[in-house]
Amino acid sequence: MIKVGDTLPAATLMEYSEVEGNGCSIGPNAVDVVKASAGKTIALFALPGAFTPTCSAKHVPGYVEKFAELKASGVDEIWCVSVNDAFVMGAWARDQKTDGKVRMLADGSAAFAQATGLTLDLTAKGMGLRSNRYSMLVKDGKVVSLNIEGPGKFEVSDAATMLAQAKG
């Protein structure tokens, strides 16, 4: 399992773009985790699934709400990673009004979740292999802090905890 001091795994996430710009075409675009995190401070949080109750009611809204404070504390980007496809993440981004605040990144095959060792098996609930709920502060590709939730919990991966760590 990934830990503080480790480098983010080499993986490709997908991001849905509704507008063309900066070399990005409309539709899903590949995001190379290593390249995208180089030289940046990133507040990364991951969760089991788009449109799920806790994720939609608390997790994403908290990061949208704390966007300005996180930026002021030195965070360059906020990433939300979930084992969903880029089209679902794009629809969820519209629903959650994350544009310009939180990058909604799809880990469609759970490759990133598996590479970090932070998977959650929800096969019994009909959801298959997913990402565990966690957050991490990443600086230049290295994990500075890591907050992993216990089963069914939402206590340490929230935006307020991340903000305190970014300020510290």
Residues acting as catalytic residues: 55
Whose structure tokens read 């480790």?
6
Cα torsion through 77, 98, 158, 163, rounded to 10 = 40
For residues 96 and 64, the answer to whether their CB atoms sit within 8 Å is yes
Q: Which helix (H) or strand (E) holds 31?
A: strand 27-32
For residues 44 and 148, the answer to whether their CB atoms sit within 8 Å is no
For residues 157 and 147, the answer to whether their CB atoms sit within 8 Å is yes
For residues 26 and 20, the answer to whether their CB atoms sit within 8 Å is yes
* DSSP assignment string, 55-83: IIIIIHHHHHHTHHHHHHTT--EEEEEES
